[in-house]
Amino acid sequence: MNKKTWIGIVAVVVVIISAAIVWRVFLPGSDGSTKELRVLAWVGYEEDDFVSAFTKDTGIRVKIRTAAGGDAVMALFTANPDEFDVVILDPEYIQKLAPAGRIRPLDPTDYSWDGYPDAVRNHPAIRVDGKLYGIPLRFGSNGLVFNTKHISREEANSYEVLWSDKVKGRIGIWDWYLPSMGVISLLAGNRETPYRLNDAELQNVVDRLKTLRPRVRSIHASPRDMLAALAAGDTWIVPAGGEWVAGLLRADGHPIDWTVPKEGGIMWMETALIPAKAERINLATQFIRWVQSPRGQALLATRRAYYGVPCNAHAIPLLSAEVQDVLHIHSKDDLLQLFRKLRTRELPQNQPPEKWQDIWEQFKAQTLK
């Protein structure tokens, strides 16, 4: 070979070796592999600005698969138990997954708690038998979301507004039994334990649902459908809605607000779990810590899929005044006050979930007895 050929070969080898070094430096797995981090989450986590910010800050490439609804995320995880390194899921599912050995216990010292109020950090739903299994990322309200052109804040101060003549035929319902039945359970008098009902208390919820159903205009299969109906003015009020619905609509100029009625609200929360079969533990921990940071929390608060309240109070100053107004959160004290107004969403405790799900299907089909 001539000299130019040898120089060309050497140059190619140098480029290949350099690329391999960069790949390993910026995409390290806990096992030294170069595979990307795999995350299963609610919709919103896959949005480009969120993913690109994480990769820019950490050098870690991430592949995110999403679903709408805790049951849907749970079903994907159940069907693919060894596919993901992080699962973003509602804490009520921790109580099923941890005893079954499906998720790893976490070392609290591996994570960043600066800015987390003690009430959030020590939430009982993220622990089983004293062990930590979930890292809270954001939370929000299942209360009432309403059109301010037609409904006043005073009228929205009770779920009883759903039975007023004004809103008949203008009610939207989110097609997920847990939050929607939860707020009706609060109205039925179960203010402290809306998911821990005896059979008589559950029947009271059924009776309320039975009279509500003829007043409903639409049952929305997804949050996107709910947003579209409220934006168009087809529906004026949705129980189990909150800041996560109002945020996007307000940003687009629609007269939508939300409240936690006097009967209380149901808390939704997203927590980060590490599956028992996860391979890239180091990457998973880095991802969770980044989402816990003020920057990650501020970005997470304003996803185009839906808004949410950051768990880290240090993120609040990073939010615009408009976003703080939509969230009704301007300080750590506001965050704590909202947190304490809400009852934890749980799976049904005294009946199998399938019984509640069957009631919900009867509600949708208008066949409740």
| Average pLDDT rounded to a whole number, residues 179-208 | 97
pLDDT of 26 > 60? The answer is no
Structure tokens at 5: 């050929």
| Average pLDDT rounded to a whole number, residues 124-142 | 97
Structure tokens at 10: 């050497």
The share of the chain scoring above pLDDT 90, in percent, equals 87
Q: Which residues pair with 249 in a beta bridge?
A: none
On average, the pLDDT of the chain sits at 91
pLDDT of 2 > 80? The answer is no
The residues, ordered by sequence, that sit 6+ positions from 30 with a Cβ below 8 Å of its Cβ are 279, 280, 281, 282, 283
**Residues 238-262: pLDDT tens digits?**
999 999 999 989 989 999 999 999 9
**Residues 61-82: pLDDT tens digits?**
999 999 988 889 999 999 999 9
**Residues 93-104: pLDDT tens digits?**
999 999 999 999
The residues, ordered by sequence, that sit 6+ positions from 338 with a Cβ below 8 Å of its Cβ are 141, 260, 309, 328, 329
Q: Give the N- to C-terminal CA distance of the chain in Å, as an integer.
A: 88
Structure tokens at 286: 């880095």
pLDDT of 1 > 90? The answer is no
- Please indicate whether residue 248 or residue 235 has the higher confidence score (pLDDT): 235
Q: Which residues pair with 67 in a beta bridge?
A: 42
Q: Assign 143 to helix, strand or coil.
A: strand
Question: How far apart, in Å, are the Cα atoms of 156 and each of 44, 142, 163, 242, 325?
Answer: 28, 13, 12, 12, 18
pLDDT of 7 > 70? The answer is no
Q: Please state, as a whole number, how many other Cβ atoms lie within 10 Å of the Cβ of residue 17.
A: 10
Which of 107, 106, 128, 126 is CA-nearest to residue 274? 106
The residues, ordered by sequence, that sit 6+ positions from 32 with a Cβ below 8 Å of its Cβ are 24
Buried b (16+ CB within 10 A) or exposed e, 305-321: bbbbbbbbbbbbeebee
pLDDT of 140 > 60? The answer is yes
Which of 349, 329, 298 is CA-nearest to residue 125? 349
Q: For residue 242, give the DSSP letter.
A: -
**Residues 302-355: pLDDT tens digits?**
999 899 999 999 999 999 999 999 999 999 999 999 999 999 999 999 999 999
Give 3-state DSSP helix, strand, coil % of the chain, rounded to 5: 50, 20, 35
Q: Distance (Å, rounded) from C-alpha 272 to C-alpha 253?
A: 33
pLDDT of 15 > 80? The answer is no
Which of 208, 155, 154 is CA-nearest to residue 186? 208
Write the Ramachandran bin of 310: left for phi over 0, alpha for psi from -120 to 50, otherwise beta: beta
Task: State the pTM of this model.
Answer: 0.86
| Average pLDDT rounded to a whole number, residues 110-121 | 96
pLDDT of 35 reads 65
The share of the chain scoring above pLDDT 70, in percent, equals 91
CA angle 169, 174, 175 (to 5 degrees): 110
The residues, ordered by sequence, that sit 6+ positions from 303 with a Cβ below 8 Å of its Cβ are 44, 45, 47, 50
